[in-house]
Structure 1
Amino acid sequence: MKKPPRLLKLGRPALRLRVTFGVMALVLSLFAGRLIVLQGVDPDRYALAATKENTKPFVLHASRGSILDRNGVPLSVSEDAVAITADPTQTGKVASQLAGVLASRLSVDYATLMKKLTAKGRYVILANKVSPQTWNQITAELKERNKALKEQNKALPEEQKKPLLAGLYTEADPVRSHPNGTIAANVVGIVGAEGKGLAGLEYGLNDKLSGQDGKAMYEVDARGNKIPNADHTVEEPKPGVSAQLTLDADLQWFAERRIEQAVKQYKASSGSVVTVDVKTGEILVMANYPSFDPNKPVKTAALKNRALEQVYEPGSVQKVVTMAALADAGLISLDTKLQVPGVYTVQRRSIKDAFDHGVLNLTMAGVIAKSSNVGTIMAAQQMPVGDFVHYLKKFGFGEPTGIGFPGESRGLMPPGDEWSELTRSNVAFGQGLSANAVQMAAAVNAVANGGVYMPPKLIKDWVGADGNATPNQTAAPRRVVSESAAKQVTTMMEAVTGKGGTAPLAAIAGYRVAGKTGTAQEVDSACGCYRKWATSFAGFAPADNPRFVTYVVLQDPTNGRGGGFQGGPVFRDVMSYALQKYAVPPTGAKQPVIPITW
């Protein structure tokens, strides 16, 4: 039986229409709801998100504080300079002409400039640290060329006119400069290409000098490149603080020239000079040789500030501290007499003076004047070792000076206070401990200052961008020996520069001068043995009313050896310059006649 054919049911148009309208209404309601959220409920958040996608932050570097001498003479300053930038969308068609102009005035080659001027994006840096004078020359030449192009274009139809040279811009990009060249270069240090201190005070004070960077939000293109002249917002940077040092640039310059002469004359490896204001502890001179010109490329080895970073055994200048401690304890006086043999045995070790002699009848002034190691040991043996160590610590040995200079060495002292008799004997005349030049100058300064130790000071004031100065705070002074003990040692030291002393070349006409020579063995790292030397001289003037202390040290002189004839003349010249510049008159008192023998 054949089945009847299936009949197709017709659709229901009304239902389909209702479903279609329902779906459309739902979609439209979703769009409407989203629109209400975007424009009515939280428009700011979405506007900010859109802005962030089209903007990018750029750092605005704060102007770096200056480093000045005590009189405001600039030692390191930031000078105006610019970074030259370009918008390649504007420079692409005229890249060859622009590259020709720029290459002739910048230290960037033509090929590199062409690559940048035709790059993708809207922002490239062509050159950094360009002086305003150079940029003015570039803009002047571009104006002249554009003027000529305009004249040419007048005669050409519109489609043949040549594009003008455009698309170059500038940003502030200061450069660090040292107007006085080598003066205090080892102290001041240098700044790297990124504007951060790399050595010296530039490194140690970087946070204060740098200030606080600001930022600018610029519109950027799809590639994230800044769009020149587009809308932007700026958070202004806060300039750094300037450091006014205690150094005197004039005196520093003279001392640097003088120590350079001495290093070359005596074929030493290096030398340093430190001059201190007795009453304040302010360092007027911290001179080193070798040095460098911070305005030129510098080798790392030349950056060292030897006056604070290099330590050595101080030799006989240490006897000043030993005698001050003994006098303060009442164990010696100017009337003390010693019979000093040519050789003295301590714990089975024979110790001699630098010169051969039999038994000498020396006063304590004579022990200092003749720089007798044996006499110093004999006097020092009266003091308990623990007491002696305590005095050394009060004079600042084994501890940082407090200046806060990066890389400063604290020196070395034998550990503990239970030294052997041999250790105490060696330290008494300047072997067996090490110090830097500033530590030695500060220790001698305590004697010149009537027994009061003045913590050395290198930074005098902090100067804000508004010009207001804030004094730099240092540690409080401390008494280390009595005024009477300091005066007795001063009298002993005057015998050093007098007739029969070891440093008559340190005397200054018209002034009473107290001084002490030093010659110490140094360890040669090549062999681990004593075969190098450090020669030195420390002194102050006027001895009857001290104003300045000057300390001179030469490292490893190979053309002769002796603190009196090598360091003494440098001391005399630098001290004379300081006394004259600061108008310190002679007191008129005659140098006392001090018996050195009996």
Structure 2
Amino acid sequence: MTYLTPGNPSKRLQKIIAFILIAAVIFTIRLVDLQIIQANAINEKSYEKRAVTRIIPALRGQIIDANGKVLAKTVFRYDINAAPSKVAPITRTVNGVPVVVTVEQLVSEIGAILEMSPADVTAKITGTGEYAQIKKRVDAASYRKLKDLDIPWLYEDPIAERIYPNGAVAGNLLGFITESGLMEGLEQLYDKCLAGVPGEETFEKGVDGIKIPSSVISTKKAVPGRNIRLSIDSDLQYFTQQVLASTVSRLRADWASAVIIETKTGRILAAAEAPSVDPNDPGKLSADDRRARVFQFAFEPGSTLKTVTAATVIDTGLGSPNSQAVATYSYSLPNTGGYTVTDSHFHPTEYLTLTGVLAESSNTGILDIGKDVDYKTRYRYLEKFGLGSKTALSFPGEGSGQLNELKDWDGVKKFTSMFGQGISVTPIQSAMMYQTFGNGGVRLDPVLVDGCESDVNNFRIPETAGGVRVISEESNRQVLEMMERVVESGAIGRYGAIPGYRVGAKTGTAEIRDPNTGKYAGPYAISYFGVAPIDNPQFVVAVTAYKSRTVSSSLGVAAPFKKIMQQVLRAYRVAPSNTKTSDLPLNWK
């Protein structure tokens, strides 16, 4: 039998003590490492898990009209969310006494504010997840009421929403912003001014995933966008859009436009069209009808360009208002292989002055007089009137019209360009062409925006730039007198006359070229462009209807021109004319 003899008790104790000391040293070293050496790193990791950064949207600037009326602004809406897994009763202090508020009571309070039934709210917040949306786009007043409930498992996402208080008024100019951030119109053109700079808020959340009260660590304030003021008179814009909507319906036209210009400043008081898009809901219209056709769509001006041809003849010294034309029904163009131009209706040979040519809108008559000016000179004048070039506004998608290079003008275009066929213009180019006649022969750049300011009270109307002298003042005076005779005696022009005021205008009916066949046919682009009062020109109104189907002449837009011009003269309190009207002869034989 073998017996185990016990060891030395003191040695065993020493080993135990040594083991304890070693463990203590290791623990101490680890503790020092965690609390001192790695403390910053651990804290940073812990902070990263707790810290949440939220973007604070910047308030986009306003777009206001010439009189300070708000056309576009941004308001904050709030998406109201919950953390279903954290839904629980809360404790409120009432009269110094803690009171438990049940989930059912909280649901009832939430539903009353959000106009939802308790059952609907309960369905939204039931679950185990960290996120559930209760309601989107809640207004600021309702959001503040919810905040006052102080429910920790409710939270919000602020949403900056662009709204247009006047709906479709100037909608095609203002443009819009889609949910994906795509922009149109002035919203796009002036985005750098309007946008502002977003801010940030960093806060801590607890282990339950809910924001810790008063835990905001840092805040970078959002910088609001600045504002732009338009030259547009929204009341006049609205009136004009209403007239155009009626015109499109009556003519069964594709669209209609009207531009109103202050002649001495180039300020655009209205740039209207129908159909008109409501930027609050742009999807209701087709992509074409959401466009700003005033700037983006080009059409052949037809006889409205005869005024430019007449001005060129007079300014070059090759004719006068009394120049004599033999206006036959048809006119064979030389060196074109027999190409023939006719007037709009059959008539015996007429002996018209240049004034009579405009009043009767004779194609053959303008060719008979205009042929004395070489086509290179006429091309130069077309350029001086602004054709073939975009305006200085640089509106998004703006067109330049079509004025082919001179080397590309064939024998036909050298003649048909005299009465507006074979070239094209945008509505804004048309209006600025006639602004030249209303400003003593000086063409200005159009003005649509007065500037970009943080304070809407700081806007000032910019000084008018010098402009470009297109024709002499004397030549311009004679052109205005001829335009007045169009309104006094023209078969269609007289329907735009306004009692008490001297009005000058030119009508235009243009066939539309088929892009597939190259042939011209109806329906037509019909126009009526005018200046008033002739003795002190202040306003231009240029009205066009595209593809008019029920009326095939500019008679279809004479009445709309008259309504709009009358409204402008009335709104701006222009005194009636008190000078003698033009008595230029229409015939020489």
TM-score by length of 1: 0.83
Match of 1:288 among 273, 276, 281: 273
Q: Where does residue 368 of structure 1 map in the other structure? A: 358
State the aligned residue count: 560
Q: Decide whether the 8 Å contact of 1:84 with 1:130 is kept in 2.
A: yes
Amino acid at match of 1:367: V
Rate the CA distance shift 1:407–1:358 in 2: closer, same or farther, 3 A: same
Structure 1 residue 414, shift from structure 2 partner = 1.7
Amino acid at match of 1:218: F
Structure 1 residue 500, shift from structure 2 partner = 4.2
Match of 2:534 among 543, 546, 550: 543
Q: Where does residue 203 of structure 1 map in the other structure? A: 188
Q: Distance in 1 between matches of 2:357 and 2:418?
A: 13
Structure 1 residue 475, shift from structure 2 partner = 7.0
Q: Distance in 2 between matches of 1:19 and 1:260?
A: 97
Q: Where does residue 51 of structure 1 map in the other structure? A: 47
Q: Where does residue 429 of structure 1 map in the other structure? A: 419
Q: Where does residue 334 of structure 1 map in the other structure? A: 321
Which range moved further: 490-499 or 79-88? 79-88
Match of 2:393 among 403, 410, 416: 403
What fraction of aligned residue pairs are identical, expressed as a percent?
Answer: 30
Structure 1 residue 276, shift from structure 2 partner = 0.3
Q: Deviations over 1:275-332 (max 9, x none)?
A: 0000111110111111243444632414222222221111111112222222222222
Q: Deviations over 1:383-436 (max 9, x none)?
A: 232222222122211221222322222211223445223112111101111111
Q: Where does residue 295 of structure 2 map in the other structure? A: 308
Match of 2:77 among 81, 86, 108: 81
Rate the CA distance shift 1:496–1:536 in 2: closer, same or farther, 3 A: same
Q: Where does residue 272 of structure 1 map in the other structure? A: 257
Amino acid at match of 1:342: Y
The 5 Å alignment of 1:179-328 reads 179-193=165-179, 196=181, 198-220=183-205, 230-296=215-281, 298-301=283-286, 302-328=289-315
Q: Where does residue 349 of structure 1 map in the other structure? A: 339
Q: Where does residue 4 of structure 2 map in the other structure? A: none
Structure 1 residue 133, shift from structure 2 partner = 4.7
Q: Distance in 2 between matches of 1:31 and 1:80?
A: 50
Q: Where does residue 159 of structure 1 map in the other structure? A: none
Q: Deviations over 1:50-81 (max 9, x none)?
A: 43342122111111111111000111222353
Q: Decide whether the 8 Å contact of 1:58 with 1:216 is kept in 2.
A: yes
Q: Distance in 2 between matches of 1:223 and 1:421?
A: 83
Structure 1 residue 446, shift from structure 2 partner = 0.8
Q: Which runs of 5+ in 1 are unaligned?
A: 1-11, 144-163
Amino acid at match of 2:400: R
Which range moved further: 199-208 or 465-474? 465-474
Q: Decide whether the 8 Å contact of 2:233 with 2:270 is kept in 1.
A: yes
The 5 Å alignment of 1:501-540 reads 501-524=491-514, 529-530=519-520, 531-540=522-531
Q: Distance in 2 between matches of 1:265 and 1:467?
A: 42
Amino acid at match of 1:265: R
Which range moved further: 93-102 or 587-596? 93-102
Q: Where does residue 369 of structure 2 map in the other structure? A: 379
Q: Distance in 2 between matches of 1:304 and 1:556?
A: 17
Structure 1 residue 516, shift from structure 2 partner = 0.2
Structure 1 residue 535, shift from structure 2 partner = 0.3
**What is the DSSP-based 3-state SS (H/G/I as helix, E as strand, rest coil) of the residue aligned with 1:173?**
strand
Rate the CA distance shift 1:472–1:60 in 2: closer, same or farther, 3 A: farther
Q: Distance in 1 between matches of 2:494 and 2:445?
A: 30
1:594 corresponds to 2:574: no
Q: Decide whether the 8 Å contact of 1:385 with 1:418 is kept in 2.
A: no
Q: Which runs of 5+ in 2 are unaligned?
A: 1-10, 90-101
Q: Decide whether the 8 Å contact of 1:455 with 1:476 is kept in 2.
A: no
Structure 1 residue 234, shift from structure 2 partner = 1.2
Amino acid at match of 1:179: P
Amino acid at match of 2:271: M
Structure 1 residue 575, shift from structure 2 partner = 0.9
Q: Decide whether the 8 Å contact of 2:282 with 2:290 is kept in 1.
A: no
- What is the root-mean-square deviation in Å for CA atoms of aligned residues? 3.5
Q: Decide whether the 8 Å contact of 1:64 with 1:239 is kept in 2.
A: yes
**What is the DSSP-based 3-state SS (H/G/I as helix, E as strand, rest coil) of the residue aligned with 1:589?**
coil
TM-score by length of 2: 0.84
Q: Distance in 2 between matches of 1:499 and 1:130?
A: 62
Q: Distance in 2 between matches of 1:478 and 1:353?
A: 34
Match of 2:547 among 545, 548, 556: 556
Rate the CA distance shift 1:289–1:326 in 2: closer, same or farther, 3 A: same
Q: Distance in 2 between matches of 1:106 and 1:474?
A: 52
Which range moved further: 574-583 or 102-111? 102-111
Q: Decide whether the 8 Å contact of 1:121 with 1:221 is kept in 2.
A: no
